[in-house]
């Protein structure tokens, strides 16, 4: 099993939720308001007067075979919506209780 953390501009919320629904990923946790900036060329998303935009994040735990599918969908969203930004991070899950 793998955890996938997806961080994205709030403008992509409906698209991310639609992606999860279409992939039948039911279990997730969503943070509607997160702040930060991209590593390379992302604009800050701080919810301030200077940097008014906000990011959101969702985390889900999926079977290994879904990881590449999710990453492909995230990359496609990023290619289409380059100006707003979306990133995904994956790591191993050892146990779930």
CB 29 within 8 Å of CB 56 = no
The whole domain housing 39 covers 2-92
Condensed to tens digits (0 to 9), the pLDDT of residues 30-87 reads 999 999 988 777 788 998 999 999 999 999 999 999 999 999 999 999 999 888 889 9
The CATH code of the domain that includes 50 is 3.30.70.120
The pLDDT tens digits of the residues spanning 13-23 come to 999 999 999 99
Q: Indicate whether 97 belongs to any domain.
A: no
Number of domains in the chain: 1
In sequence order, the 6+-apart residues with CB closer than 8 A to the CB of 81 are 9, 11, 12, 15
Its pTM surpasses 0.85: yes
Average pLDDT over residues 7-16: 96
Residue 63 tokens, joined: 């079977």
Domain-embedded: residue 71: yes
């Amino acid at each position: 099993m793998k955890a996938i953390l997806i961080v994205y501009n709030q403008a992509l919320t409906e698209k991310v939720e639609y992606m999860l629904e279409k992939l039948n990923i039911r279990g997730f946790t969503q943070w509607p308001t997160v702040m930060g900036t991209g590593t390379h060329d992302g604009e800050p998303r701080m919810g301030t007067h200077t940097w008014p935009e906000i990011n959101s994040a969702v985390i889900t735990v999926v079977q290994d075979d879904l990881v590449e599918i999710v990453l492909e969908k995230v990359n496609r969203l990023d290619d289409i919506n380059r100006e707003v930004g979306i990133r995904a991070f994956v790591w191993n899950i050892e146990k779930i209780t």
